[in-house]
Amino acid sequence: MSVSHVTTHILDTTLGRPAPGVAVVLEARVGDGWSGIGTGLTDADGRVKELGPERLESGAYRLRFDTAAYFAGIETDAFFPEVVLTFLVDAEQAHYHVPLLLSPFAYSTYRGS
């Protein structure tokens, strides 16, 4: 498989380094609910390059990050046990990179390239 339509990257801004070993789930909006379409685990560089299909239909999607397990693994208390980022995909766009900037008590995101 080549790089999926949606990729992600997590940087632990408190430690100033990538966040490895974080479980990530890609879900698609289906009616009034959500359906899982891909899973991954961040690599040593904090990236997930293969996360679901190579092409997605236009619509609403979300990424769920298991931040509780990550922070427990580095013995750090944290406020957010999970981060969920919901975004829109246009099938005509070649790629969506959705980074997460993470700390124990805050997070931020943006559309990367």
Please, are residues 19 and 42 in contact by the beta-carbon 8 Å criterion?
A: yes
110 is in an annotated binding site: yes
**CA separation for the pair 84, 65 (Å, rounded):** 6
**Nearest-angstrom CA–CA distance, 82 and 84:** 7
9 annotated binding-site participant: yes
Q: How far apart, in whole angstroms, are the C-alpha atoms of residue 94 and residue 74?
A: 35
Binding-site residues for substrate, in ranges, read: 9, 47, 110
Binding-site residues, in ranges, read: 9, 47, 110
